[in-house]
Structures are given as structure tokens and as C-alpha cells.
Amino acid sequence: METIKHRTVKVNGVNLHVAESGEGPLVLLIHGFPELWYTWRHQILGLAALGFRAVAPDLRGYGDSDAPAAADAYTFLHMVGDLVGLLDAVAAEGEEKALVVAHDVGAQIAWYLCLLRPDRVKALVSLSLPWVPRNPGMKPLDGFRAAYGDDYYMCRFQEPGEIEAQFAEMGTRRVLEGILTYRIPGPFFLVKGKGFGHPVDDPVVLPSWLTQEDVDYYVDKFEKKGFTGGINYYRNMNRNWELMAPWDGAQVKVPVKFIVGELDLVYHMPGVKDFIHKGGFKKMVPLLEEVVVMEGVAHFLNQERPQDTTQHIYDFLSKF
């Protein structure tokens, strides 16, 4: 990828690896789990060709960015601080607001960036994850345990070292292939000793949109860095709930386009479709302009349908 440049930027006490390409209005691309800047490889080049400057970091804990050892260094406040610092470092003179595109847990971080610092965001395209209003009566992990039980992946992520040991036993490649190719429109479980519910040595047939070269890149970075940094995001779910109490009930007031795959496991969580389509989403995000459900597409939509996703992003961001 010769037209993608790489550099390291020091922000908020950590060094972030950044991939970028193009000239024009700044678009910040925020990845999810278990991903890297590389998840945006198609969008970086596509948006650059369409007249934007695309910037995609490895978030703290991932890839070639720093990974603080303490689990409590991965709250949403840390993450939003990193992104504000990154915008300060990479924005052109006088460019105070950026266009933001984000996926998965990266989208959740982007929603909080919009909530806490709307002065830094022109518009948001959120992939997979809508705004999730805080439930003042229940901590997130209590809700997930009640709905799905202790084998639900977010619950399994909580005990330090436990899921890392299971992933090590399964092997980095098998873990990444299993997650990136997951297409069941339902909850994702990690049963102790059973991996993804079938023998670890069962071969994984890669879809056409995910090449062996792609998997090799992810495997190389996660074998070097490990999964702990990314998992630490989930270990702060209840802590984030506590920290966000002052913004309970607050609306997100930036222009938004939301895109989700028809087969995305998030789209099939209890109550999510009704929230998206029956007014709840629009009530909490009054500047929500468009909701797109991509037929036949699962969670990693920006990799599965890269051209369609880039076009959807461009159609919205070109308004600003």
C-alpha cells in the first residue's frame, strides 16, 4: 500500500501509530476489536481518491501504538483524550473539526467523542453500533449477564488473564479467523475450554473479502502486542458507566449517519432494532439523518463490502 504513509504521534501520554493518505478535509477513522488501522485499508485509499485526508490510528493497546499496562488506563475518558490529542496533532491549521467514521467499540468511543467534545466533530458515520443510552438502573455487565449468561464474550473478558490464556491455547490465528468470519446474527459466546463452540483444529474457510495476506497482517500485530490492550476496553465497561453518570440522558448533537449489516450480531441484540427504527435513536441523536441496513452483510461491513461502505461514507461526508 504505497500511497498510505505511516508515522507515530505522541498524544495524551502515549505514542499512537497512524496511517494516512490523501489531501483535503480530515476524516478520522476509528477501528474496533480485534482490529487495527488496517481494517480501514480500503476506505483510506478510497476516501483519499475522493478528495479527503484519511487518518486511521491504531488505538492505545493495539498494533504499533503503546499499550499501558494498567487495565484502568482504557476508559472512554482516556480514549476520547487520545482522539482529541490526535486531532490537535494532525489537523491542518484552522481545522478545528474533523469528520469521524468509526466501527464496533471504536464507534462507541466516537459516540463519546461526539457527546463530550462536539466542538471537534463536523459529522459522524457510525458503523455497527448505534448510540447506547446509559441505563441508570443497571450496570452494563449486569445487563449482559442477565441476558446471556457468564459465557457471553464480554463477560468472559472480565477476569484478567483468563481469556488471554484461552486465546493462547487456541492460537492467535484461529482466534482472529474465528472472530473476523463470524456471521451468526446472534450473541457471541466463548465457552471455557470450547473456544467458539467447535474444535479448534476445524479449518476456517476465509471469505473472498478476507485474504490470507490480510489475516497474516492481523496475526503478526496481535502476536507481538497480544489481546490484552483491546480486551481492557471491555474491562472498563462498568467503570465507564460510573464515569458517564453526569451525562445521563444527554443527547448527542452532531450530524450522524448510521450503517449496519443485516446479519450483524449487534443489530440482533434485544431491543436494538426497535431503538433504531422506532424513534428512540432519533430522540437521543436529534441530528441523525440516515440509517442504512446493508442486506446480507455481517459485522465487519467495511471489509466485507468495502466499495459500498466507502460510497455510503462519501455520500454523507461530502455534505460537510
Active site residues: 104, 234, 299
Residue 127 φ then ψ, to 5°: -105, 125
Q: Which 8-state DSSP code applies to residue 134?
A: -
**Amino acid symbol at 254:** V
Distance CA 259, CA 6 (A): 28
Q: Which residues have CB under 8 Å from 222's CB, separation 6+?
A: 34, 172, 175, 176
Is residue 15 a contact partner of residue 85, using CB atoms and an 8 Å limit?
no
Q: Where are the alpha helices (DSSP H) in the chain?
A: 41-49, 76-90, 105-116, 140-148, 153-156, 162-170, 172-180, 212-225, 228-234, 237-243, 272-277, 280-284, 301-304, 306-317
Distance CA 173, CA 217 (A): 10
End-to-end CA distance of the chain: 28
Cell numbers for 224: 507481538
* Number of Cβ atoms within 10 Å of the Cβ of 254: 23
Q: Which residues have CB under 8 Å from 297's CB, separation 6+?
A: 261, 262, 263, 264, 304, 305
- Which residue(s) pair with 260 in the sheet? 293
